Amino acid sequence: MNRLHQWLCRSERWRSTVAQRLPWAIGNTDLGPNVLEIGPGPGLTTDFLRTSVPRLTALEIDPILAAALSSRLKGSNVRIIEGDATRMPFADAEFSAAVSFTMLHHVPSRELQNRVLAEVLRVLNPGGFFAGCDSLQGWFMRLIHIGDTLVPVNPDTFGGRLQSAGFEVLEVQKNAQAFRFRARRPLISPVKT
């Protein structure tokens, strides 16, 4: 991330945005006892999420952010794993739910984003929820990503991408700044031909 983006993701402005966006993204979804957060960055989302779930695993690709978050949350209900969401180091059906908050646009291509979706499906229990949100494309979004990865996710096609990965799509809804999604791994996997 560039310096402006790093500053923003640690700012009180972003903390306020997270405090509003997380409840909107999750809604009344029962995340269950063992939740995976993908791409927590500096962990503002983790701070909010960890107070409402029994056990949280945060998967962070950046080694510096992962180490800082691990040190800060040592002894809590959060386990930090440094790793790549396109090749998750977890067993099949390990988590009751997975969440992703404003990170999918940091994945460097649509194909790799789709790989993240496939990996989330793999690590979820049958019936487990995948919920989250991402920012919409706009001038401010482009500004804070100068010299940074920005592959916007189109909310109008995201439901189809979730379905192609194997999810049952429950909702994709947008407002002026962001979109939220909620999907579920089917209880019975469809037969592949």
* Nearest CA among 5, 21, 16 for reference residue 175: 21
Q: Where are the domains of the chain?
A: 3-184
Q: Using an 8 Å Cβ cutoff, are 101 and 133 in contact?
A: yes
* Nearest CA among 85, 87, 22 for reference residue 48: 22
In tens digits, the chain (193 residues) has pLDDT values of 556 556 556 667 767 777 788 898 999 999 999 999 999 988 989 999 999 999 999 999 999 999 999 999 999 999 999 999 999 999 999 999 999 998 898 899 999 999 999 999 999 999 999 999 998 777 566 655 566 767 789 999 999 999 999 999 999 999 988 899 999 999 986 545 4
Rounded Cα gap, residues 44 and 27, in angstroms: 18
SS3 118: helix
What architecture is the 3-184 domain classified under in CATH? 3-Layer(aba) Sandwich (3.40)
Q: Which residue has the tokens 């080694």?
A: 63
* Nearest CA among 67, 145, 139, 159 for reference residue 103: 145
